[in-house]
Structure 1
Amino acid sequence: MISFWRRRRNGRRADKKQEEDLEIVIPNHFQCPISLDLMKDPVTLSSGITYDRESIERWLEDGNFTCPVTNQVLRNFDQIPNHIIRKMIQEWCVENRRFGFERIPTPRIPVAPIEVSKILYEISTSTQHGNPNGCLELVKRIEDLGAESERNKRCILESGAACVLSAAFDAFATDCFERNANVLEEILSALNWMFPLDVEAQTYLGSSTSIRCMVWFLKCGDLSTIQSSILALKELASSDEKYVETLVEIEGVREILVKLIKEPICPAITKASLMVIFCMVSSSSSSEVMRPAFVEMGMVPLLLEVLINSERSICESALGLFERLCSCEEGREKAYSNALTMPVLVKKILRVSELATEFSVSTIWKLCKYERRNEGSVVVEALQVGAFQKLLLLLQVGCGDETKEKTTELLKLLNPYRAGLECIESTDFKNLKRPF
């Protein structure tokens, strides 16, 4: 009896293993002829061939006017949902769920350009009539449509939604920040997935009133509003210096930006804040004033703390800002007096990214080249933390022309001090053969 039960149990295990080893083949009529993947939203063209909506739309957007399978010219571009095939695919997915297939959801009907145009027209009308509540509901409708699919987002963008929403934001901000806060917050949230903006939309969103409203949100808004506002400010500051000029004239903006970095809320806000400050200290019209101002506010030691433990994108932004601050004498003096400066900068070379390496080398070059007091102390410190070996390896690996020139100059500055001072960080050079 026991022997029989064991044989049956072993037989079941063998059957289960054999079942797991089976390779599930997707039926041909369930596969999109373009992508060869399981169709999620099958649609039929005038040629009678069924494709996945996303694949055929991409084909048509690339300027093709023929059916990919039959190669015949399409009489029209109508895409008729194939409900029969879609239901068959859903049933097949349910039957093969044990093999990892999930039932595809019933797709929503894509929004039509005329529907989007109607909503945008109503937004413009509500804006002209000073109706924030009506505009709020319409903006939420735009957000809901965009959240349904990437196709809807493209349709909304192509209909000029960014310009209409930016104009509405400017109008309601001009009326009153506090009274229209709800609709202003919703507009910023919708605009965040419409970047980059075209010139006309930038003009509305980059008005003095609009920028002041976003700075006000940085100070008084909740988490989502702060994120939407700082991302919009980054978009504007990165696109044109005139928006940076407007930003630097706002009282208290520097303190708000520094606080967002000193008291981090989320990585996206931290990175955007660093980028906005970077634009402020890089502007041809404001850099001479902004660099010493941010140095005085303690940005140099704050950036070094950020650099110790930060993700790649934040590290690049922080190093770029640190490099700009070291372009002024005040920034270099603060860097000289901080024991973390040279170890952190050398550590980031060849550790994060090519851009981070360029910023690190440029900063070290500025600190060594423009040192005035205690001649040679920075060079000695760089050697003691392994800078010479890192720079030599960088030349071997390869880098941009400007970085290569600075690296070569740094090696010449460091070489006379090498005897008895050089330190090699073994973890950076494990399994690497040095040619000297």
Structure 2
Amino acid sequence: MIFSWRQRRANRRGGARKNEISEGNNCDLELTIPTHFRCPISLDLMKDPVTLSTGITYDRESIEQWIEAGNQTCPVTNQILKSFDQIPNHSIRKMIQDWCVEKKSYGVERIPTPRIPITPCEVSNICSKIVAATERNDAKKCQELVEKIKNLARESERNKKCIVENGVGFVLASSFEFFAAESSEKHEEFLRAILSTLTWMFPLGIEGQSKLGSTTSLRCIAWFLNGEDLSVRQHAIIVLKELLSNSLDDQYRSIVVDGLIGIEGVAENLFKILKVPIGPISTKSSLMVIYHMLQHERSEKLASRLVELGLVSLVLEMLVDGEKSTSEKALGVLESICNWEEGREKASKNALTMPLLVKKILRVSEMANEFAVSILWKLCKEIEDETAVIEALEVGAFQKLLVVLQVGCGGKTKEKITELLKLMNLYRNRLDCFDSSTGFKYVQRPY
């Protein structure tokens, strides 16, 4: 197998090198890697060689992917694996490292000695210690263990996966609820450490969600949303988003939302994250949290407060230059806020509404199309004012809706488009806004 490295010290060796390398005009080197140093799966230089029960050595990452894909045989021998144990091959690894050092002058970097991956047993042991420390009310010891978890997760994705799959999320959620109930201010540093770790722990399972979704935990998370530390606010909004998005059913999500709605200042804090953005992740997370909260049957007061704060104008501004993912979420929030009369009135009075809705149709995603059509329908059908219909026609909504019908959409969206087209058709002949030469340029011909 031939691999190329750029020659760093082209003239430091004599003619003996010619037997090993060939040098081109661009000073690139072609260096042969010994066959037994290469993984039989990836054919790359092994970084963490491990041996299976069949005696064949592979790179750990490659063989793990092979096994996780559902394969139960050795890729080389095709024998059924009686055991999936992967034994580190220290001899091969040491030989590879020595070879890398020997070829250093050719630009080959020495592979680092890999750390031994964490095992489920070790994860369970850490969980037991956290539970015991929580029962003793020993926040300091708990924080040390949480930091250990974070350090292990940084070492490799394999470690992170092992941690997530072995119940750490539930244990941390339980500890978070316990110390939050005692005092958020007193245990602020420890609670912050848990919050930052929980951002990548989802899904937590039924028990973990119940702990993190309790009134005590939600009040603590909301308290962090109002803090000055931007990173903590980001972690808090991400955890809320994951908690709502990963809910096992609508009933549980409704319980969490009900708890959030009852916390004073939540609407203001969510709006603040959108108004003074921390980053794209925080913005998207905040939009998702607001969207889920607006789906709740008791969200009328929340919607009224968000409209009062200026959510409609802010969301429309985000749609002007927002990338696809942000635009989709922003349209979802706007569609939800238009369920209430206050929201529809604010949207209809904003000069950006119709042009942006029509512009976003067919440019973002299928779901964004559904949101945009639904908003148009609510503004044109539920507000007894022909101004909205005329404005939609003037910016080309009729043509865009025809294209959506041809491209295909869901049943409910199709019904709304049909109603909108009938309504717009009543005004179309009175307006000089329909150019048949350009209106159908995106419609595919049937032949």
1:148 CA drift (Å): 0.9
Q: 1:307 to 1:335 in 2, by over 3 A?
A: same
Q: Distance in 2 between matches of 1:393 and 1:253?
A: 40
Q: Distance in 2 between matches of 1:244 and 1:127?
A: 28
Q: Distance in 2 between matches of 1:433 and 1:305?
A: 32
Q: Distance in 2 between matches of 1:263 and 1:396?
A: 40
Structure 2 residue identity aligned to 1:385: V
Q: Distance in 1 between matches of 2:99 and 2:121?
A: 36
Structure 2 residue identity aligned to 1:402: K
1:148-187 aligned within 5 A? 148-187=155-194
| Preserved contact between residue 192 and residue 228 of structure 1 (Cα < 8 Å) | yes
Q: Distance in 1 between matches of 2:440 and 2:141?
A: 63
Q: Does 1:392 align with 2:402?
A: yes
Q: Does 1:366 align with 2:373?
A: no
Q: Compare 229-238 and 43-52 and name the one that shifted more.
A: 229-238
**Residue in 1 that maps onto 2:18:** none
- 2:84 pairs, out of 57, 77, 81, with 77
Q: Compare 161-170 and 312-321 and name the one that shifted more.
A: 312-321
**Residue in 2 that maps onto 1:347:** 359
**Residue in 2 that maps onto 1:9:** none
Helix, strand or coil: the match of 2:142?
helix
Q: 1:431 to 1:314 in 2, by over 3 A?
A: closer
**Residue in 2 that maps onto 1:7:** none
| Preserved contact between residue 31 and residue 39 of structure 1 (Cα < 8 Å) | yes
1:379 CA drift (Å): 1.1
Helix, strand or coil: the match of 1:51?
strand
| Preserved contact between residue 380 and residue 421 of structure 1 (Cα < 8 Å) | no
1:217-236 aligned within 5 A? 217-236=224-243
1:158-307 aligned within 5 A? 158-238=165-245, 239=247, 240-284=253-297, 286-307=298-319
Q: 1:263 to 1:138 in 2, by over 3 A?
A: same
Provide Cα deviations, 1:145-197, integer angstroms capped at 9, x if missing partner: 01111111122122210111110000110110011001101011111111122
**Residue in 1 that maps onto 2:333:** 321
Q: Distance in 2 between matches of 1:57 and 1:65?
A: 11
**Residue in 1 that maps onto 2:5:** none
Q: Distance in 1 between matches of 2:228 and 2:87?
A: 45
Q: Distance in 2 between matches of 1:26 and 1:423?
A: 68
Structure 2 residue identity aligned to 1:293: R
Q: Does 1:17 align with 2:25?
A: yes
1:84 CA drift (Å): 3.5
| Preserved contact between residue 403 and residue 443 of structure 2 (Cα < 8 Å) | no
Provide Cα deviations, 1:238-270, integer angstroms capped at 9, x if missing partner: 321100000000011111111111111111111
Structure 2 residue identity aligned to 1:270: T
**Residue in 2 that maps onto 1:407:** 417
Provide Cα deviations, 1:376-432, integer angstroms capped at 9, x if missing partner: 211111111111121122222222232222222222222232233326699998787
1:334 CA drift (Å): 0.8
Provide Cα deviations, 1:44-74, integer angstroms capped at 9, x if missing partner: 1121101121232233345554323223344
1:94 CA drift (Å): 6.7
Q: Compare 397-406 and 31-40 and name the one that shifted more.
A: 31-40
| Preserved contact between residue 389 and residue 424 of structure 1 (Cα < 8 Å) | no
Q: Distance in 2 between matches of 1:394 and 1:96?
A: 60
Which ranges in structure 2 are unaligned for 5 or more consecutive residues? 1-21, 248-252
- 2:60 pairs, out of 46, 53, 56, with 53
Structure 2 residue identity aligned to 1:227: Q
| Preserved contact between residue 385 and residue 425 of structure 1 (Cα < 8 Å) | no
| Preserved contact between residue 146 and residue 194 of structure 2 (Cα < 8 Å) | yes
Q: Does 1:422 align with 2:433?
A: yes
| Preserved contact between residue 44 and residue 79 of structure 1 (Cα < 8 Å) | yes
**Residue in 1 that maps onto 2:151:** 144
Q: Distance in 2 between matches of 1:70 and 1:413?
A: 69
Q: Distance in 1 between matches of 2:437 and 2:129?
A: 66
Helix, strand or coil: the match of 2:226?
helix
| Preserved contact between residue 118 and residue 162 of structure 2 (Cα < 8 Å) | yes
Helix, strand or coil: the match of 1:71?
coil
Give the share of equivalent positions with the same residue, in percent: 58
Which ranges in structure 1 are unaligned for 5 or more consecutive residues? 1-13
Helix, strand or coil: the match of 2:58?
strand
Provide Cα deviations, 1:106-163, integer angstroms capped at 9, x if missing partner: 3211112222222111111111111111111110000110111111112212221011
Structure 2 residue identity aligned to 1:394: V
Q: Compare 290-299 and 339-348 and name the one that shifted more.
A: 290-299
**Residue in 2 that maps onto 1:5:** none
**Residue in 1 that maps onto 2:75:** 68
Helix, strand or coil: the match of 1:17?
coil
TM-score, reference length from structure 1 = 0.88
